[in-house]
Amino acid sequence: MARPKGEKLIADNRRARYDYHLLDRFEAGVVLTGTEVKSLREGRVTLGQAYADVRDGEAWLLGASIATYDGGNYANHEPDRDRKLLLHRGEIASLIGRVRERGLTLVPTRLYFKDGKVKVELALARGKEGRDKRRDIADRDAKRQMERALSRRR
């Protein structure tokens, strides 16, 4: 997948594509402090256990860990704090209704800079079962073997 011009990828949550069926995607801004942005520029973030939640009409990013900035001082940020997400009111209202459906959750898939601002791509996702994961692995292996066979014939 090609990235649009003006975007610089910070982190990609590949585990989300393995654990969930990704249905819809949303782009949201993230409210950060200065040392968090400096740490993100160094790529020191983990999205593995992160998810988003809607509380009191506001969207929040939970479980994302942005490492403390080495050049910081006593005013350094808390690495595992909850971060507010910036979405339009209509988007939040539609997310509230859809997340209440059985088995749907909001998962961050990418964190990136877009025109100097930090953005997170959220996906509305449904969890995969073990057999779905095994089927995906088998399909990927079969596709890889077909590509190898075709490349040998050329």
Q: Are residues 10 and 113 in contact, defined by beta-carbon separation less than 8 angstroms?
A: yes
Quick count: other Cβ atoms within 10 Å of Cβ 28?
22
Q: pLDDT tens, 33-89?
A: 888 888 888 888 988 889 999 988 899 999 998 888 887 777 787 888 899 999 999
**pLDDT value for 89:** 92
Bridge partners, residue 126, by sequence: 21, 104
Architecture of 8-128 per CATH? Beta Barrel (2.40)
> What does the domain layout of the chain look like in residue ranges?
8-128
Q: Are residues 119 and 28 in contact, defined by beta-carbon separation less than 8 angstroms?
A: yes
Q: Where are the alpha helices (DSSP H) in the chain?
A: 14-19, 34-41, 89-99, 130-153
Distances (CA, A) of 36 to 30, 77, 84, 106, 116: 11, 7, 13, 22, 14
pTM: 0.78
